[in-house]
Amino acid sequence: MKFLKLVVGASIAVLIFLLMQMSTTPKEAASASDGQPAATMIRGVRVFDGERVWPKADVVVRDGRIQDIGEHLAMPADAEIVEGQGRTLLPGLIDAHVHAWGDARKDALRFGVTTELDMFTDFHQLADARRERESLAATDRADLWSAGTLATAPGGHGTEYGMQIPTLTTPAEAPAWVAARKAEGSDYIKIVREDLHVYTDARKMPTLDAATAAALIAAAHAQGLKAVVHASAQEQARESLRDGIDGLVHVFQDAPADDALIQLAKRDGVFFVPTLTVVAGFAGEKSTLATDPRIAPFLSAAQTQTLASRLPIGDANPALIANARESVRRLHAAGVMLLAGTDAPNPHTAHGAALHEEIAQLVAAGLSPQEALKAATSLPAKAFGLSDRGRIARDLRADLVLVDGDPTTNIEATRAIVTIWKNGRRVDRDPAAKAVAVAAPAYPPGVISGFDQDLAAKDGGQWMPTTDEMAGGSSKAELVRIDGGAAGSAGALRMQGEVVLAGSWPWAGAMLHPGTQPMQPVDVSSRQELVFQARGDGREYSVMVFSGNDAQARPSIVNIHPGKDWQTLRLPLADFAGADLRQFRAVAITAGAPAGHFQLDVDAVEIR
């Protein structure tokens, strides 16, 4: 709260945006004195220990660790007894590909994912994450390892989210770039080889060339870090394998893996994180998790929304998932290590919940249920050097998941969770976003702002300038009403100013608060699209929707490219992945990198 007091009187819009980008320090529960038992015995339970199945065993947990595992153990006098008949005890699950911010790790833990391996997030949270994962204190979220900032080309994938990303263009820059990431706390290096050509012909992005990517791999290894690659095309994956990559964090989707590539991966012990769940979303498949009675009660509104959405890049293409599944089948048959990862919270995924879909996808692609469980427990721990988790064995961390049924024969039994323990303590599975959600008033239909007389919005709403100044940046924004708007209207809103690459996340533009107070939620769940007139200066702008029970949550973003003449922009609300339309708080239209002046005119704003 000290930080909040320092900025009283400043633009709340700016503050919220800053807080959205920053990671909050997790709250730790008190200690075992909060009513949790001193020890726990799970008795007479089937155990999958990460590597093999015990048909019937006892497991004793004390002080956050597994004290013992075996048959017919003596019952500790101070232990809570949990009967395991008809149930299976699993190691805490590990999602080997996520992007974590906001409540992501709380969401993950509710579904038994006790560890997340992040592939790109705000590096400012990494020091806290390291301290948390080394502790055995009670906690309400999964532990985190992360690549921090990813390696990409100027204007490449990863730069489109409004954050300033240190990019590379030559191999000579690689050693210093890797050293900077290591100093920030990155646990490994993620390298992007992606131009989107697998998904669409309409939009291409710059990407790292092979020489620069190879130099990054060498620099990472020289500094004691693993290097992993994002590649959706087989040729870029092949180049990365030749250059000594440790793992590929997607399986490519343009064609099934050929024999030469498979043998190269097998020879060098490279692991793959297929992320079939997110690929299925690209391909147009629909998730059923939100209607599964074992999953749905524990989803937040935002998770339900992302599961139902699809990333708007190109047309749905069933060949993408068909190629990915065939690659997984071939890689598995050859003995290449496969890890379960979801790419949450991208469309068609949700932190925690989607891992249960991912392991089912792996089984459908040829793994046995037990092999899929290894892909979500002991194998990611082995691949990333996580020595205290991923298995159920003496002295290891007591991250455990108890389920009804037998997921070693029916993989969907992982969804029937009975109890989760993190650091030996029971996890509360109540989705906080649902538990404390406040009903927002329905927002009346009609044009929000026509700007014929002034910059006011209907029903007391406000337009406010927003810039990165509160984050230590120097960008400027000014909002003015101009005469003569779209289609002969009397006026329009002009946002103008300058983007300066001095802060961590450069932005400048305008933010609309539809409620009578900044960030006050309204209900637009009956609406289908955000519609407005715009004319720009040729640069790309971001439209961000702030929503949900948490006013500090990360916004949902869609990028626009308005032309120099007035045009109607229709943005389906479904394209704002994760947006909770029942609690719609604000919408911002901002310019980001590159540096320089910007000018965008907006008129006739409406949520239809």
Contact residues for 18 (Cβ-Cβ < 8 A; gap 6+): 468, 470, 471
Residues 470, 505, single domain; the answer is yes
Residues 354, 472, single domain; the answer is no
Residue 311, pLDDT score: 65
Q: Within the chain, which residues score under 50 in pLDDT?
A: 1-33, 433-437
| CA 391/CA 53 separation, integer angstroms | 11
CB distance 158 to 189 below 8 Å: no
Residues 504, 360, single domain; the answer is no
Residue 312 dihedral angles phi and psi, to the nearest 5°: -80, 65
Residue 470, pLDDT score: 58
Residues 393, 446, single domain; the answer is no
Token pair in block for residue 12: 């709340």
Where helices occur in 287-377 by DSSP H, the ranges are: 301-308, 318-333, 353-364, 369-375
Residue 440, pLDDT score: 85
Residues 398, 490, single domain; the answer is no
Which residues form the domain of 262?
A: 90-435
- Residue 69 forms part of a structural domain: no
Distance from chain centroid for Cα 269 = 27
Bridge partners (DSSP) of residue 557 are 544
| CA 105 vs CA 34, 112, 113, 132: distances in Å | 22, 11, 8, 12
- Residue 40 forms part of a structural domain: no
Residues 141, 249, single domain; the answer is yes
- Residue 79 forms part of a structural domain: no
Residues 279, 157, single domain; the answer is yes
| CA 249/CA 383 separation, integer angstroms | 12
Residues 216, 304, single domain; the answer is yes
Contact residues for 297 (Cβ-Cβ < 8 A; gap 6+): none
Question: Is omega for the bond preceding 345 within 30 degrees of 0, making it cis?
Answer: yes
Q: Which is nearest to 237 in space by CA: 378, 361, 331?
A: 331
- Residue 215 forms part of a structural domain: yes
Domain final residue, candidates 403, 435, 467: 435
| CA 415/CA 23 separation, integer angstroms | 29
| CA 315/CA 441 separation, integer angstroms | 36
Global pTM? 0.75
- Residue 45 forms part of a structural domain: no
Domain final residue, candidates 412, 435, 458: 435
- Residue 566 forms part of a structural domain: yes
Residue 549, pLDDT score: 74
Residues 14, 105, single domain; the answer is no
Q: How far apart are the first and last CA of the chain?
A: 38
CB distance 141 to 129 below 8 Å: no
CB distance 467 to 459 below 8 Å: no
Domain final residue, candidates 401, 435, 469: 435
Residues 459, 377, single domain; the answer is no
Residues 254, 311, single domain; the answer is yes
Give the H or E element holding residue 177.
Answer: helix 174-184
Residues 472, 517, single domain; the answer is yes
- Residue 386 forms part of a structural domain: yes
Where helices occur in 369-528 by DSSP H, the ranges are: 369-375, 378-383, 432-435
* Residue 320: CATH number of its domain: 3.20.20.140
- Residue 62 forms part of a structural domain: no
Q: Which is nearest to 463 in space by CA: 495, 496, 499, 498?
A: 495
User: How many structural domains comprise the chain?
Assistant: 2
